[in-house]
Amino acid sequence: MKKTARTVGGIAICASISMVLSGCGGPSAGGAPTALTSIPDTDPTATIQVVSHMTLDNDGMQKVIDAFEKEHPTIKVEWKAVPFKDMNSLIDSRISQKSGAMDVYYVDQPRLAALVSRGYLEELTAAFSDQTSEWDKSATEANTYDGKLWAVPLATSTQLLYYNKDILDKAGLMAPSADPDKRISWEALKSEAAKAQSNGGAKYGFMFGQMDRYYQLEPLFVEAGGGTGVSGDDGLTPDFESNGWTKALEYYKSLFADGVSPRGQEEMQDEFYAGNVAFMQDGTWAIDKASKTDFNWGVAASPTFEGTDAKTPTGSWSLGMNPYSDSKEAAAIFMNWMACQDGGQISVYQPAPDLPASKKARERYFTRDVFQTDAGKNAVNLINYELENTAVIRPQTIGYVEFEEVLNRAFADVRNGADPTTSLKNATTQLNTAWAAYK
């Protein structure tokens, strides 16, 4: 098979998995791994291979790598990016063969438990435990499994309620509050969204940024008293045939059935940026795009069901270490620099960084121009509040991939008119079948 790769500076983007496996690094003898116990004070001379998902800004990442190598001239970084859908197969192929060629890789936080269960992550407790106080509680929780630290968070996330003030003004509606103690309810939001359509000319009243993703919808189930959907000591018992889950999905279904939200494709955020939607619940990544729109916009606290405590989704990417790495000391220095040093240097040198998991790095992140407007200042206050008080991570189960796939299909079915109770029952059957392999 012909193997090709495109190189951007020092970042090699592998065009096929066969390239990644055979052409992007040499094999290791694969002996018994030596545990990492500390971050060295002195830099070794080494070359480390770092693997990430391909959606990263590769030109921006080159700036990050250049900065690291300038500060640590004896450590060279080979950065390789692969499609997200191929990350699992790459990691499995490398580490199951006890290959040390890949030293550090990006970890999707809800998949951490599965990686730990397969022995695919180096335990980092001894080396990095003194850094956890710098991160949000939820970020530390997402990178901890069975009481041990397995990865270091590069970023985090939360959700905001974005609104088109021009549409609300035309409809004679008050903007929802940015005060977390006065947040709008889901019930009131639907009513206001319908009025924005009938009186304000909105094409759609409300939309979720990710309309049938578990990450986006998890707070509704938790707020309604249904929990995360996973129970059992082993985290392998589906637990979503409940009143809380049914209530949340009935509400979700009504948004589409009543024409308040667009059925459409999986993601339709551009409708909001085009000025066609009154309200959008989405992540902090939407702030930059909202700031470039032609209408007046604002942000409010994420909704909650009436009489319930608010919850918001969180989670992002972390860095994990291959337990068979040939260069653990150099890898630890790189991980510390990226995620921990002065709040994490990736947020210093990456031109368009994600929301940092470090409070110190967020102070720097919030100096960007987009956060100096009234809407931006409200966003800063809400981001800090939600991460500290309402953030809920996705369930830690070794079967998370199957869990997410089954439920995302169920959400799509409900969005398109299926009965929530029946959909949840079918999802339970499907997930029990999928999880049988782990028992």
Domain count, the chain: 2
Q: What is the pTM of this model?
A: 0.91
CA–CA separation, 50 vs 88, rounded Å?
15
List all residues 6 or more positions away from 386 whose beta carbon is below 8 Å from its beta carbon. 158, 159, 180, 301, 302, 312, 314
Is 25 in the same domain as 174? Answer: no
Least confident interval from 28-32, 73-77, 232-236, 376-380: 28-32
Is 66 in the same domain as 169? Answer: no
Q: Output the pLDDT for position 68.
A: 98
Q: Output the pLDDT for position 362.
A: 96
Is 266 in the same domain as 289? Answer: yes
From residue 16, how far is each of 5, 55, 56, 82, 400 by CA, in Å? 8, 15, 17, 8, 26
State the average pLDDT for the chain: 91
Is 72 in the same domain as 31? Answer: yes
Residue 373 forms part of a structural domain: no
List all residues 6 or more positions away from 236 whose beta carbon is below 8 Å from its beta carbon. 230, 397, 398, 399, 435, 438, 439
Q: To the nearest 10°, the Cα dihedral for 146, 151, 157, 158? A: 10
CA–CA separation, 255 vs 258, rounded Å?
6
Q: Output the pLDDT for position 396.
A: 97
Q: Does the structure show a pLDDT above 80 at 411?
A: yes
The length of the chain, given as a count of residues:
439
User: Would you place residue 419 in the very low, low, confident or very high pLDDT band (cuts 50, 70, 90)?
Assistant: very high
Output the domain CATH number for residue 101: 3.40.190.10
Is 144 in the same domain as 166? Answer: no
Q: Output the pLDDT for position 213.
A: 94
| pLDDT tens figures, 8-22 | 334 443 333 333 333
| Mean pLDDT for the stretch of residues 290-304 | 98
List all residues 6 or more positions away from 308 whose beta carbon is below 8 Å from its beta carbon. 223, 224, 225
Is 307 in the same domain as 322? Answer: no
Asked if residues 354 and 315 have their Cβ atoms less than 8 Å apart, the reply is: no
The 3-state DSSP class for residue 282 equals: strand
Asked if residues 267 and 211 have their Cβ atoms less than 8 Å apart, the reply is: yes
Is 395 in the same domain as 265? Answer: yes
Asked if residues 238 and 426 have their Cβ atoms less than 8 Å apart, the reply is: no
CA–CA separation, 434 vs 238, rounded Å?
11
Least confident interval from 156-170, 273-287, 342-356: 342-356
Residue 113 forms part of a structural domain: yes
Is 296 in the same domain as 361? Answer: no
**Share of residues in the chain with pLDDT > 70 (%):** 91
Q: Output the pLDDT for position 266.
A: 61
Asked if residues 161 and 300 have their Cβ atoms less than 8 Å apart, the reply is: yes
Range of the domain at 62: 5-156+316-365
